[in-house]
Structure 1
Amino acid sequence: MSKKMGMLGRKMGMTRIFSETGTSIAVTVIEAGPCVVLQKKTAAKEGYDAIQIGFGPKKESRLNKAESGHVKTAGKGGFHHIKEFRVTDPGAYEVGQEINLTDLLNVGDIVDVRARTKGRGFQGVVKRYGFKGGRATHGSMFHRAPGSIGCSAWPSRVIKGKKMPGQMGDRMITKKNCTVIDIRPEQNVIVLKGGVPGAKQALVQIYKKS
């Protein structure tokens, strides 16, 4: 598994900015961090090197006893989201340490962004895969159907992996090679070029490219 350090954030939405030449650039605004180190895991004890971070403050009254005990060592309260990141040297971090944008990223860096896409529900092949469909007129009786899907005498079954109607969206997607256009540390905001997966307020994972 790749050992890429990253942090958690919340997608705030999309907008645009203008370059020095007046070109309009579509960007995604993400509130990233601060993240708090909750636990260090080492190859000697757990079998792999990683740190566990928390993002999004959560009232202590909303924590159950297991959650309260887990975050007690860090002393920074509870968190809505907890995630592990593989690292090369867990000893470089301390439990309770805050990880901010400027500790990890700079303007011009390339990052990967992972998030859950918007759920589209059960959809047909036209919307799900972009099938053209049939004629809409002259009584064709074939409009948005997938068409022939099976085989004849042999093997007399539908081959696995064929594009069919089904659940669309609501799955984890990684958008690779996003450029950091701007960082505003006083607001914990990072501006990335282009779109990233997920709806507004969705949790995103940001990985710095090595």
Structure 2
Amino acid sequence: GHIELHCTQSGSQSGMYWYQQRRGEGLKLIGHNTNTGEPTLDKNFPSSRFQILRKETIGKGSLKISNLTAADTAVYFCAFGDHSGTEQAPSCTKTPEELLLFSVGSSGTVITQSPSVCVKKGQSVQLQCEQDGSDSYMYWYRQDRQEGLRLLFYSVAQGNVEKSDDPPSRFSAQRPSTKSFPLNVTKVESEDTAVYLC
């Protein structure tokens, strides 16, 4: 059998990206397609089974998967923009009740970030995110267990930080330079346990 997943944006970003997330794993970039051009697929997703299709308008597209197998069972994410990403495997495996796990992901531009961090409730933590390029836009997303991605902060240039989804006041971000976009959490709470992706 086959399935086609549709995606629509309200903006005008030209790049469409599709990700796969299997249970208990991080995000894997399937591929992307810029406007109506030819798609670029990751080597783990053969074109014989995976197709990224763009419609006649810039805001619509779809992912078609053919010859479905049990291994295709996953959550699929669509994104529009000029970035892509995969998640790094957490290095912290024990999460007692009094500890919080901060897992960190990475974006398509080569990025240096903090590893996963375990901290006690009430402590503070800073998650580093640095790019080796000169992309203007940088983003911080949060993913709670078995839920989708939620945008926390984004920055369009050095010195600029914008909030989204009203993150708690103990969350903050800075853009001290084009290459750096650290995320800070002061006096962490148990509910802050999540995967954070830059």
TM range (shorter): under 0.3
TM-score scaled by length of structure 1 = 0.27
Structure with bigger RCO (C-alpha 8 Å, 6+ apart): 1
Which structure is higher in helix share? 1
Larger Rg: 1
TM-score scaled by length of structure 2 = 0.28
